[in-house]
């Protein structure tokens, strides 16, 4: 045979040909899991928004029931305050407290390492938006009450 074909010698700087061993291949990184706290924050954000919408609907229905035929508000005294108004107020406060819990869980979920953060970020946005909007609603109510005196 001719000298043109010869196995490569490690002394030449070239390793001899060997088929790749499939067990020596580097493993692909495992896909990162979603943050459980982020998912909880997202679900709490949706539940809190539903609670605030329900409380606004309950309070609005109470106010609409107490409107007179000419559109003027009937005098509401302590005896006339119904369970609807109490339920609506408690539901709104509970929803805001739940949103604060969801905000904390979302921040913790976003800070976790080696976890996906999509649900945590969406949960942070939903819960923070709800807290800010309800806070603004209360502030507008307080300012509106102060100007009517």
* Blockwise average pLDDT, block size 10, the chain, 149 residues: 55 60 66 88 97 92 68 59 84 96 96 91 96 93 81
Inter-residue contact 44 to 128 (CB < 8 Å): no
What pLDDT sits at residue 1? 53
pTM beyond cutoff 0.75 = no
The rounded distance, in Å, linking the Cα atoms of 33 and 41 is 16
What pLDDT sits at residue 64? 77
The rounded distance, in Å, linking the Cα atoms of 27 and 19 is 18
The rounded distance, in Å, linking the Cα atoms of 2 and 6 is 9
Place of tokens 């001719």: 2
């Amino acid at each position: 045979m001719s000298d043109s074909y010869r196995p490569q010698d490690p002394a030449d700087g070239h390793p001899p040909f060997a088929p790749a061993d499939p067990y020596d291949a580097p493993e692909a990184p495992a896909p990162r899991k979603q943050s459980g706290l982020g998912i909880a924050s997202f679900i709490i954000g949706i539940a809190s928004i539903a609670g605030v919408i329900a409380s606004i609907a309950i309070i609005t229905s109470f106010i609409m029931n107490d409107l007179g035929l000419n559109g003027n508000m009937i005098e509401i005294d302590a005896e006339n305050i119904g369970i609807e108004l109490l339920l609506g107020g408690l539901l709104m406060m509970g929803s805001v407290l739940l949103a604060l819990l969801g905000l904390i869980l979302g921040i913790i979920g976003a800070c976790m390492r080696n976890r996906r953060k999509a649900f945590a970020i969406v949960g942070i946005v939903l819960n923070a938006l709800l807290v800010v909007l309800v806070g603004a609603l209360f502030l507008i109510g307080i300012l509106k009450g102060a100007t009517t005196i």
